[in-house]
């Protein structure tokens, strides 16, 4: 009987191979979290004023007089105020952020002046407050005033690259394999990450960052599929969810490096170096047996299984030829009627809509991805305004994700994927409504409610990666996760614009997130439960999982379809148990 699981726990002694593969992949996931949030400090806009056309002899801000502008930054709390400076030649200028005025009558140095003034543009550049950051991309290329919109495009453009990379590399991974995509995207993260630090202007910076976003997203999408296909049913939940935990660790690393390094290009180099150890060893990672079997590369799959058996000290590894005999007979009989089209078909995104049941599943999954990302970033952007130390705030933003993934893992293993996802989506909607009724004076309560909202949406956001991988078969799994990640990044691009709606109504962002979360929670009820079920290999099996008897091809699936893959996933523990 093949009742055992491939391995009961990922970190059990007999399963060293899976543990090594897993830790290697999730280590690299930290760099994804790093690059996603690097712009938080790299593109920060410090206090600034218009440049001065000469040497300063004295500076005046209300009743405070200083000898240099550097001494006045701590007093200048409102950007609507101006600074008065007197030059060595006797001229008196009023300096604002995006303009400067020369007083026609330069008698006494006083803050208030009602005489004539000549207004000039900031043709001499800008002066920046470097007490916190010695250099940022904003200060290096003067991305302020009429060029401020260029600075605001940095993160949305990065997320656009993430969106495109998720689709492209998800599709490529299904066509050429997970292993090659992991190699390429890992090397790309290191190369493009270092290259960002040496860009010579804003436009080259944006182009290289865009490429960095594509490979970072591509790695994250394929890594989820990769570890999912190597991990057995019991350990699959914890293994996939803790990829998110390492992503959150990457966010905390950004806070730490940002606190220690205050020059943007040095900061970028330090963040990118974290990728190097994995780049040096990622070439040793094997292809997954699931993908090899889906491509009918049985000999290569057997080699990988034999390597796994040696590492795990399993004396009697399974034979693919024996386990696949039934499946091969089904394929041969199927080819007689289908002229071998099924085995050679190249799959694309349209396969995610091959029938009504799969299409409905895809639409619901995409909505959950979009809502999770939208809520995640809306709550995160709100937490930036909590006050206090911004480095500590970012650190806590990453740290608050760790317990939510533990709760998600426990819930998914005990209650199931769907039964955990539904209540947390609805809970996040209720928290959005609750925040609207909290008086603005209760700042501590508002902060706690926002963190609770981020916690609940974080559970749903983390869960959907694994749930999506389990809802779709091997032949389109990477494509499904990739397209879902595309919707996720669409949500992250929309999130900043959603926050801008606070100018219309302060609770408008929360209202939108609450509505989307409630709708997603209701639609999730129609999704099938995947807890304890083996991964499917064909669209027929995926449709059957939704209790639909009509397949994508309109034919009844073979009784043993996918049996070989299930047995390969399950063979290990039985052998190990026999040895005990």
Q: Is 314 among the domain residues?
A: no
Cβ-contact 124, 454 below 8 angstroms = no
Least confident of 265-269, 426-430, 541-545: 541-545
Residue 518 has pLDDT above 90, yes or no: yes
Backbone φ and ψ of 172, nearest 5° = -60, -40
Global pTM reads 0.77
Nearest to 173 by CA among 210, 215, 211: 215
Same-domain status, 364 and 277 = no
Residue 310 has pLDDT above 90, yes or no: no
The alpha-helical segments, DSSP class H, found in 68-153 are: 137-140, 148-152
d(Cα 67, Cα 60) in Å, to the nearest integer?
Answer: 9
Token pair belonging to 550: 């009509």
Helix, strand or coil, per DSSP, at residue 558: coil
Q: Find residue 56's DSSP bridge partners.
A: 87
Residue 347 has pLDDT above 90, yes or no: no
88, 104, 131 - which closes a domain: 131
Residue 247 has pLDDT above 70, yes or no: yes
d(Cα 412, Cα 119) in Å, to the nearest integer?
Answer: 64
Q: What is the CATH number of the domain that holds 230?
A: 1.20.1250.20
Residue 95 has pLDDT above 60, yes or no: yes
131, 154, 186 - which closes a domain: 131
Cβ-contact 368, 517 below 8 angstroms = no
Provide the pLDDT confidence category of residue 504 given band limits of 50, 70 and 90.
confident
Cβ-contact 46, 129 below 8 angstroms = yes
Q: Is 551 among the domain residues?
A: no
Same-domain status, 113 and 140 = no
Enclosing domain of residue 384 = 349-545
d(Cα 180, Cα 195) in Å, to the nearest integer?
Answer: 22
Tokens 């979360």, located at residue: 517
Cβ-contact 305, 567 below 8 angstroms = no
Nearest to 546 by CA among 419, 418, 368, 358: 358
d(Cα 514, Cα 508) in Å, to the nearest integer?
Answer: 10
Residue 514 has pLDDT above 90, yes or no: yes
Biggest alpha carbon–alpha carbon distance for the chain: 100
> What pLDDT shows up at residue 577?
33
> What pLDDT shows up at residue 448?
80
Cβ-contact 278, 24 below 8 angstroms = yes
d(Cα 7, Cα 18) in Å, to the nearest integer?
Answer: 9
Q: Is 424 among the domain residues?
A: yes
285, 312, 329 - which closes a domain: 285
Same-domain status, 4 and 138 = yes
Same-domain status, 94 and 204 = no
CA-CA distances (angstroms) from residue 39 to 138, 188, 206, 487?
11, 18, 12, 21
Residue 7 has pLDDT above 60, yes or no: no
Same-domain status, 65 and 89 = yes
Same-domain status, 395 and 484 = yes
Length of the chain: 580
Nearest to 116 by CA among 99, 104, 101: 104
Tokens 């935990």, located at residue: 245
Backbone φ and ψ of 91, nearest 5° = -70, 145
**pLDDT tens, position by position, 430-466:** 999 998 888 877 877 887 888 888 889 988 887 887 7
d(Cα 20, Cα 307) in Å, to the nearest integer?
Answer: 13
- Give the full edge-to-edge strand order of the sheet including 92-95: 64-66, 56-61, 83-87, 92-95, 100-103, 117-120
Cβ-contact 157, 163 below 8 angstroms = no
Q: Are strands 92-95 and 100-103 parallel, antiparallel or unpaired?
A: antiparallel
End-to-end C-alpha distance for the chain, whole angstroms: 17
Nearest to 109 by CA among 126, 128, 85: 85
> What pLDDT shows up at residue 251?
84
> What pLDDT shows up at residue 323?
58
Q: Is 310 among the domain residues?
A: no
Residue 177 has pLDDT above 50, yes or no: yes
Same-domain status, 353 and 227 = no
Which of 147 and 78 is assigned the larger pLDDT? Answer: 147
Q: Is 328 among the domain residues?
A: no
Q: Is 553 among the domain residues?
A: no
**Could you tell me what percent of the chain has a pLDDT over 90?**
13
Helix, strand or coil, per DSSP, at residue 179: helix
Helical axes 477-500 vs 154-176, angle rounded to 10°: 170
Q: Are strands 56-61 and 83-87 parallel, antiparallel or unpaired?
A: antiparallel
Same-domain status, 357 and 388 = yes
Cβ-contact 98, 146 below 8 angstroms = yes
Cβ-contact 59, 69 below 8 angstroms = yes
Residue 516 has pLDDT above 90, yes or no: yes
Q: Is 293 among the domain residues?
A: no
Same-domain status, 430 and 518 = yes
Q: Is 244 among the domain residues?
A: yes
d(Cα 468, Cα 264) in Å, to the nearest integer?
Answer: 37
Same-domain status, 97 and 240 = no
Cβ-contact 264, 140 below 8 angstroms = yes
The DSSP 8-state label assigned to residue 4 in this structure reads: S
Token pair belonging to 286: 């094997």
> What pLDDT shows up at residue 324?
58
Cβ-contact 504, 517 below 8 angstroms = no
Q: How many CB atoms lie within 10 A of CB 115?
A: 9
Same-domain status, 184 and 85 = no
Token pair belonging to 334: 């199927």
Nearest to 528 by CA among 416, 425, 426: 416
Same-domain status, 40 and 58 = no
Across all residues in the chain, what is the average pLDDT? Answer: 77
Number of structural domains found in the chain: 3
Cα Rg for the chain, rounded, in angstroms?
Answer: 28
d(Cα 355, Cα 350) in Å, to the nearest integer?
Answer: 10
Q: Which residues contact 478 (CB under 8 A, 6 or more apart)?
A: 170, 171, 173, 174, 178, 221, 222, 225
Q: Average pLDDT of 193-208?
A: 93
H or E element at residue 21: helix 16-37
**Could you tell me what percent of the chain has a pLDDT over 70?**
80
Which of 570 and 19 is assigned the larger pLDDT? Answer: 19
Provide the pLDDT confidence category of residue 520 given band limits of 50, 70 and 90.
very high
């Amino acid at each position: 009987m093949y009742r055992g699981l491939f391995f009961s726990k990922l970190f059990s002694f007999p399963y060293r191979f899976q543990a090594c593969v897993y830790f290697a992949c999730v280590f690299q996931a930290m760099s994804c979290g790093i690059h996603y949030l690097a712009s938080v400090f790299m593109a920060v806009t410090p206090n600034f004023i218009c440049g001065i056309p000469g040497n300063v002899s004295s500076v005046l801000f209300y009743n405070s007089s200083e000898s240099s502008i550097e001494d006045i930054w701590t007093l200048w709390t409102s950007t609507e105020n101006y600074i008065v400076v007197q030059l060595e030649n006797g001229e008196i200028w009023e300096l604002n952020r995006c303009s400067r005025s020369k007083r026609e009558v330069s008698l006494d140095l006083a803050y208030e002046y009602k005489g004539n003034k000549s207004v000039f543009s900031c043709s001499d550049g800008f002066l920046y407050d470097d007490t916190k950051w010695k250099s940022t991309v904003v200060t290096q290329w003067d991305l302020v005033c009429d060029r401020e919109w260029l600075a605001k495009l940095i993160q949305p453009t990065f997320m656009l690259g993430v969106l495109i990379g998720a689709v492209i590399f998800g599709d490529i991974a299904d066509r050429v394999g997970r292993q090659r995509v992991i190699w390429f995207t890992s090397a790309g993260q290191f190369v493009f990450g270092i290259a960002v630090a040496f860009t010579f202007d804003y436009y080259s910076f944006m182009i290289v960052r865009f490429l960095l976003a594509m490979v970072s997203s591509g790695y994250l999408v394929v890594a989820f599929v990769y570890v999912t296909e190597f991990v057995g049913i019991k350990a699959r939940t914890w293994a996939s969810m803790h990829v998110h935990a390492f992503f959150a660790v990457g966010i905390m690393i950004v806070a730490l490096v940002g606190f220690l390094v205050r020059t943007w290009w040095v900061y970028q180099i330090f963040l990118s170096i974290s990728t190097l150890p994995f780049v040096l060893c990622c070439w040793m990672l094997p292809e997954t047996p699931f993908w090899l079997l889906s491509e009918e590369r049985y000999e290569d799959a057997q080699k990988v299984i034999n390597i796994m058996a040696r590492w795990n000290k399993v004396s009697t590894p399974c034979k693919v030829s024996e386990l696949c005999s039934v499946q091969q007979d089904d394929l041969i009989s199927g080819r007689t009627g289908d002229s071998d089209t099924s085995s050679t078909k190249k799959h694309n995104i349209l396969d995610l809509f091959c029938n009504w049941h799969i299409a409905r599943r895809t639409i619901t999954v995409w909505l959950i991805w979009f809502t999770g990302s939208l809520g995640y970033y809306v709550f995160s952007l709100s937490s930036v305004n909590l006050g206090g130390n911004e480095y500590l705030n970012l650190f806590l933003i990453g740290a608050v994700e760790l317990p939510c993934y533990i709760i998600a893992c426990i819930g998914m293993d005990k209650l199931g994927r769907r039964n955990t996802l539904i209540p947390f989506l609805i809970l996040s909607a209720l928290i959005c409504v609750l925040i609207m009724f909290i008086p603005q004076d209760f700042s501590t309560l508002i902060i706690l409610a926002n963190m609770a909202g981020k916690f609940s949406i974080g559970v749903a956001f983390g869960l959907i990666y694994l749930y999506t991988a389990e809802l779709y078969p091997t032949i389109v799994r990477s494509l499904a996760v990739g397209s879902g990640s595309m919707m996720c990044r669409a949500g992250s691009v929309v999130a900043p614009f959603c926050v801008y709606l606070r100018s219309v109504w302060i609770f408008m962002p929360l209202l939108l997130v609450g509505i989307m979360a409630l709708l997603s929670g209701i639609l999730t009820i129609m999704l099938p439960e995947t807890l304890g079920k083996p991964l499917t290999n064909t669209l027929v099996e995926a449709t059957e999982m939704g209790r639909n008897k009509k397949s994508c091809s309109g034919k009844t699936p073979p009784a043993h379809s996918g049996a070989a893959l299930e047995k390969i996933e399950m063979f290990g523990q039985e052998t190990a148990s026999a040895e005990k």
